[in-house]
Every structure is written in C-alpha cells, then in structure tokens.
Amino acid sequence: MGWQFNMVIIMALVFGGTGWCVYRTMKSEDKK
Amino acid sequence: MAEKKKADQWSSRWGLILSCIGMAVGTGNIWRFPRVAASQGGGAFVIALLIGLFLWAIPLLMAEAVWGKVSRMGVIGSFKEMVGRKWTWMGTVVAVISLGIAFYYAVVVGMCVRYFVYALTGVIKPGLDSEALWTAFYTTPGAMVPWHIITMVAATLILFKGVSQGLEKINKILIPALFVMLVILAIRANMLPGSTEGLRFLFQPKWADLLKGRVWLEAFTQVAWSTGAGWGLMLTYFVYTKKREDIALNATTVCFADTMAGFLAGLAVIPTVFALSPDPQAAVAAGNNGLAFIHLTNLFTVMPGGVLFASIFFLALIFAGFSSLLSMVELGIRLLMDAGWERHKAAIAAGVGITVLGLPSSYYWWFQENQDWVWGVGLLLSGLIFSIASMKIGIQKIWNEYIAPDSDLNAPWMWKLITLFPLWFVIIFGWWIKQAASWYPESYMKWLPISDYAFTVGTMVYQWAILVVLALATNNWLANKSTVKFEATD
C-alpha cells in the first residue's frame, strides 16, 4: 500500500465527510 | 424573571454555518496542523484527529449550541440560566479564558497583517534575511502595537454593525475566499518541482503510529485548539439563531470543515517546504511562528511568483485569524449586552477593552507566549466545565428536550460522548503538566517574573487560581447583572 493510496483514503474521509455534512444541510433546507 | 429584548439574528442557516466555520478555522489550521500532521505520522494523525472530533469537539460544540440557543444569553448569563444562579461563576471562568486568548490573539492577527503588508510592499524579495526581519519585528518592544490596533479597529467597526449586517456579511466573504485561497496555494505548491516528496512525507503509510500515545495526544490537542470547542464562541453565535436550528448537524459540519481547512493548508505548506527548503525537517520542527514568518517567508523569496503567493498566504492567515477574532470580540459584546448595554456602546467598549488589555502582549513577546500557554491550556478547563454542567443538567434530558426535536441527525451517541470528557481532561492535562515540569526541572512552580518563567506549571496554576477565586467572589454580582435575554423572531 503506497502513499498515493493512503492519500486517496485520507482525502476521501476529510472531503467526503465535509461534503456529506453540506449535502445533509442542503437537503434539510430544501424540505423547509 | 429575565427581561426579554429583540435581537438582530442570522438571516440564513448558511450565514450561521459560515460564521461558525470562521470561528473554528484560525491561524492554527494553517500553521499548526501541517507541521504537526507531518511530524506525527501524517495519515495516522488525520485518522486520530477525525476520531478526536467525535470524542471531543462535536459533543462540546453541541453543548455550547444548546447553552446559547436555550438561554439566549452570553456565556456568563447562560450558565446562570442553564445550571443555576450559584453556578454563574462557571460561565465567568469560561468567558475570561476566551477573553484572555482574545487579548493576545488580536496581536497574532496583527502580526499576519504586518507580513501581508511586507509582501505587498516588496519587502519579501530575493536576498531577504527572513530570520533577522522576524527577530527585529517580534522582539522589539512596541513594534507589534500599531498592527494590533489596526486589527482591533477593523474588528470593532464590523461588530458595531451587528450580527446580520456585520458579522454574517463579512463571514460570507471571508470564509469562501479563505477556502479558494487555500486551494490556489495547494495547487501552486504541488506544481513546484520536488513537491511530491512533501506529499510522500505527509502520506507515507505509518499506521503503526496509531499505536503511539504521542500521536493521539497531539491529535486531541489539535482538536481542542482548532475547533474552538469549549471556548464559548459557538455558544455566543447560537444566541442569535432562529428558534428552530439543527445543533447536531451544524456542529458536525463545523468540525469537518475545520479539518478540511487544516488539510488543505497541509497540502499547500508541506509540499512547498519540501520543494524549496534545503532542510525541510528543520522547517517543520520550527514551531508556528518559525514556520510561517521565517521558513515560508524565506521560501517565498525564491519561489517563482513568490510575491503573489506570499500575499495570498498571509491574506489567508489574516482571514482565518480575523474571522476567529470576530467571534471572541462578539463574546465580550454579548456579555455587555446581557447586562443591558446597547450594541453600539457594547461594541466600542469591548473593542477598546480588548485593544488595551492586548497591549502587554503586543509590547512584550514573552508576555504573549505566557498568555498563550496559560489560557491555551485553560481551554481544557472550559471543556471540563461544559461536560460537568451537562451531566448536572442531565445528558438524556438535554438530548430529548433541546437537541433531538430540531435535529436531522438521530445520533444521540454523538452527544453522549461528552460524558467521557473528564477522562480526556485528566490524560491531556496530565501530559501537558508532565511536559511543562520537564522544561523547568528545578523551578516548575515558580511564576514571577513572568519573563523568566513564561511556561511553568506554576504560572498556569496561579493564574487559573486567581481567575477561579475572582469568579466565585463575583458570582452573585454577575448573576444580578446578567438579566437581558434576546428573543429570536422565528
């Protein structure tokens, strides 16, 4: 497992986590 | 019975979220996260930090949001309303720790303004002795004063305009611009020849590091300082929310966005250092000021387009720091408004007060570092106070009555982790005490003169003790003063 794979995993967690929060917020705002 | 008064509030949820992200993302994301991540196992550190968000920052930010939204009062009044009149002193301790940080943080933001001006005026150019420039600026008594005052005047003017017209409007500009600048810096850094070595250093799999206590301690320390959890700042911002506002999701969003800002800064700083520095390890080990104001400043002088990128870097630092400083000044304004002060008068009084009380830190570098040590570690005490107060009110009661009704995230476990905070306090505080004792083996309990004993255990314990005694002594007086609640309109 090289550093590139490691980088992709970490990026997915950080950017994915933030993106998921933003998505959930947008979804709940749409419902209002 | 508290008198109620209508307040200007956040005009949109995104305005609130961006302002809370502005509160959380500070200079520490840009100059501390990259070097600590690089020196503590890179990817392993980020994993430990993400776990730390859930164990520490998210529950604490949720507690703060509950305090602000339910009580509709600033830090001191909120403890009176939430926990009981005789516990008002707890709010005083939290408020003074945050204000103690605000006094020198305004100076730190002023330092970034000075370096931005250096970049714009062409001082950062080939041949510059960046170490001499920094030493002259940092250690000359009074050199930081004008920049501290400029920063505080700007913050006061914005907060003078109120929440929706001042705070929200400026954060809607600062925070998106900050993320755009971090992305530009990261792209530029990774186009430099040799930058791949930096990425390799940052992301080399060192999963065994997850077994090292030091990695976890550094990750938890970063979580404590970086997210603003336990400072009372999120509390202050939630005073101005609409009646229905999602606490759990907003706290989680703020924490992830805060981590993303640090991560982007890491992608910008570490590849730059590895591409251009003759000794990258020394740059990473140089501390916050050393990395930004000496090593990176030096690298900008040899980077193609260095003036432009130095300007962007220091502007990003200013935006990150300034948006956090605004929340600290607003904390002070809110306290005065709870006592019946009108916003304009409260903004001027808080602005002048923080400027004046920040002067010692802007005049003497050792005083600034002492205050950073005393009140930075003091944030652990603030977190402990929120945790104990939450348990006193009832963890399940808070979830059922204040968080769950407006939350899209049905995850009570996230909130209940606040009960573990006393354990983290003992471990992290114990670690810091052990470290500090080793810095002054013979005299770790001494504290005067401060210039000789800036980082002792004694200086921290004595200043904390003075604060707690004063908070207890003024308990009833401050409880009587904090009477004006603000009422959300929808």
Reported as a single tens digit per residue, the pLDDT across B338-371 is 999 999 999 999 999 999 999 999 999 999 999 9
Residue B4 has pLDDT above 70, yes or no: no
Residue A1 has pLDDT above 80, yes or no: no
Amino acid present at B289: N
Contacts of B50 in chain A (CB under 8 A): 13-14, 17
> Could you tell me if B38 lies within 8 Å of chain A, comparing CB atoms?
no
> Could you tell me if B274 lies within 8 Å of chain A, comparing CB atoms?
no
Which of A2, A4, A25 is facing B17, going by the closest CB pair?
Answer: A25
What's the pLDDT score for residue B76?
98
CA distance B260 to chain A (A): 6
What's the pLDDT score for residue B8?
84
Residue B268 has pLDDT above 70, yes or no: yes
Over the stretch B312-330, which tens digit does the pLDDT of each residue have?
999 999 999 999 999 999 9
Which of A14, A20, A25 is facing B263, going by the closest CB pair?
Answer: A14
Pick the range with the lowest mean pLDDT from A9-23, B131-145, B160-174, B285-299: B285-299
Helix, strand, coil proportions of chain A in percent (round to 5)?
90, 0, 10
| Subunit contact A14:B204, Cβ cutoff 8 A | no
| Subunit contact A7:B203, Cβ cutoff 8 A | yes
| Subunit contact B204:A6, Cβ cutoff 8 A | yes
CA distance A32 to chain B (A): 11
The B residues from 436 to 465 touching A (CB cutoff 8 Å) are none
Question: Using an 8 Å Cβ cutoff, are B446 and B456 in contact?
Answer: yes
Q: What is the percentage of chain B residues whose pLDDT exceeds 70?
A: 99
The B residues from 195 to 224 touching A (CB cutoff 8 Å) are 199-200, 202-205
Question: Domain map of chain B by residue range?
Answer: 3-483
Average pLDDT in chain B: 94
Over the stretch B35-89, which tens digit does the pLDDT of each residue have?
888 888 778 888 999 999 999 999 999 999 999 999 999 999 999 999 999 999 9
The B residues from 318 to 377 touching A (CB cutoff 8 Å) are none
Residue B129 has pLDDT above 90, yes or no: yes
- Which positions ≥6 away from B400 have C-beta within 8 Å? none
| Subunit contact B205:A2, Cβ cutoff 8 A | yes
Amino acid present at B101: I
DSSP 8-state assignment for residue A32: -
Highest mean pLDDT: which of B16-25, B205-214, B302-311? B16-25
> Could you tell me if B468 lies within 8 Å of chain A, comparing CB atoms?
no
Contacts of A24 in chain B (CB under 8 A): 249, 408-409
Q: For residues B132-137, give the mean pLDDT.
A: 95
- Which positions ≥6 away from B319 have C-beta within 8 Å? B174, B175, B177, B178, B181
Q: For residues B414-433, give the mean pLDDT.
A: 94
Contacts of A3 in chain B (CB under 8 A): 199-200, 203-205
Over the stretch B167-197, which tens digit does the pLDDT of each residue have?
999 999 999 999 999 999 999 999 999 999 9
Residue B34 has pLDDT above 60, yes or no: yes
What's the pLDDT score for residue B14?
95
Q: For residues B446-465, give the mean pLDDT.
A: 95
The B residues from 86 to 115 touching A (CB cutoff 8 Å) are none
Instruction: Look up the ipTM and state it.
Output: 0.96
> Could you tell me if A18 lies within 8 Å of chain B, comparing CB atoms?
yes
> Could you tell me if A6 lies within 8 Å of chain B, comparing CB atoms?
yes
* Domain at B3-483, CATH class: mainly alpha
- B488 versus B119: which is more confidently predicted? B119
Q: What is the percentage of chain A residues whose pLDDT exceeds 70?
A: 94
| Subunit contact A18:B260, Cβ cutoff 8 A | yes
Contacts of A4 in chain B (CB under 8 A): 203
Cis, bond preceding B441 (omega within 30 deg of 0): no
Token pair belonging to B47: 């994993």
Q: What is the percentage of chain B residues whose pLDDT exceeds 90?
A: 84
Residues linked to residue B484 through DSSP beta bridges, in sequence order: B3
Question: Using an 8 Å Cβ cutoff, are B101 and B375 in contact?
Answer: yes
Question: Using an 8 Å Cβ cutoff, are B205 and A4 in contact?
Answer: no
The B residues from 286 to 315 touching A (CB cutoff 8 Å) are none
